Amino acid sequence: MLLDISDLEASGLRIDENLGNLDLEHADGSQVHCRAIRTSGRLLQIQGGVEFQARFGCLADFECCRCLDRFERHLEQDFRLLFLPNSSDARAAVRDADEDAGGDRFAGVDHYPLEGHTVELEAVIEEQINLAFPLKVLCSESCRGLCPGCGSALDREECRCSKNDVDPTTIRE
Ligand SMILES: [Zn+2]
Ligand SMILES: [Zn+2]
């Protein structure tokens, strides 16, 4: 979603987009299918750049890291970031101007490149969704995972390990 911001009005540009589906990768290597991705917010012209204040919502289909079952969660998050010119000199100038004006637009805010007069929102939103993923993906805090013996998902299947199959070397008196 490439947006031309060359004639952004003082009141900003209202964004209300349906981004459909995205397949993302969790840091643990599992696939996360995100659907019904919606973003609403506002692009605002600031001195030397553009500020994006928005909120995304989506349904994320995760894989539990213990039982490998897939489950869906609703994710929603507010975010704020800046699009700034690519050159570091230009970025520094924008930052200085903001500080001189007593602003704090840069405090703890990520910035993304402003290419000429366009901003690419999809990659940015993709990153924001990624940031909202739980560090450890669990279908439930108490998930017991898979039996190391038979591979059954212990929360929803009967363990198939027969008592007789237990390796005698692991039995202690
Ligand atoms: Zn689980
Ligand atoms: Zn078992």
Specify whether the CB–CB gap between 109 and 82 falls below 8 A.
yes
111 and 164 co-located in one domain: no
CA of 68 to the centre of ligand 1 (A): 6
Residue-number span of the structural domain to which 45 is assigned: 2-142
80 and 97 co-located in one domain: yes
Residue 149 CA: which ligand is closest? Answer: 2
CA of 160 to the centre of ligand 2 (A): 5
134 and 158 co-located in one domain: no
Residue 140 CA: which ligand is closest? Answer: 1
- Residues by chain with Cβ below 5 Å of ion ligand 2: 147, 149-150, 159, 161
47 and 123 co-located in one domain: yes
Residue 66 CA: which ligand is closest? Answer: 1
Specify whether the CB–CB gap between 81 and 111 falls below 8 A.
yes
Q: Cα(158)–Cα(85) distance, rounded to whole angstroms?
A: 59
Beta strands in the chain (DSSP E): 2-4, 13-25, 31-46, 49-63, 70-85, 111-114, 118-120
- As given in the structure block, the two tokens for residue 66 are 């213990």
Domain count within the chain: 2
**Tens-digit pLDDT profile for residues 90-123:** 778 777 877 887 777 777 788 888 877 888 888 8
51 and 21 co-located in one domain: yes
**Tens-digit pLDDT profile for residues 47-96:** 778 899 999 999 999 999 999 999 999 999 999 999 888 777 777 877 78
30 and 57 co-located in one domain: yes
CA of 66 to the centre of ligand 2 (A): 15
107 and 125 co-located in one domain: yes
72 and 96 co-located in one domain: yes
CA of 146 to the centre of ligand 2 (A): 8
115 and 173 co-located in one domain: no
On whether the pTM is more than 0.85, the answer is: no
Residue 152 CA: which ligand is closest? Answer: 2
Distances, alpha carbon 103 to alpha carbons 7, 28, 65, 95, in Å: 23, 38, 43, 9
- Residues by chain with Cβ below 5 Å of ion ligand 1: 64, 66-67, 139, 143
128 and 152 co-located in one domain: no
151 and 112 co-located in one domain: no
Closest CA to 16 of 43, 41, 37, 48: 41
What single DSSP character describes residue 97? H
149 and 135 co-located in one domain: no
The pLDDT value recorded for residue 167 is: 57
Alpha helices (runs of H) in 64-159, residue ranges in sequence order: 88-100, 121-131
CA of 113 to the centre of ligand 1 (A): 39
CA of 123 to the centre of ligand 1 (A): 30
Residue in the block written with tokens 């990659």: 123
The pLDDT value recorded for residue 165 is: 55
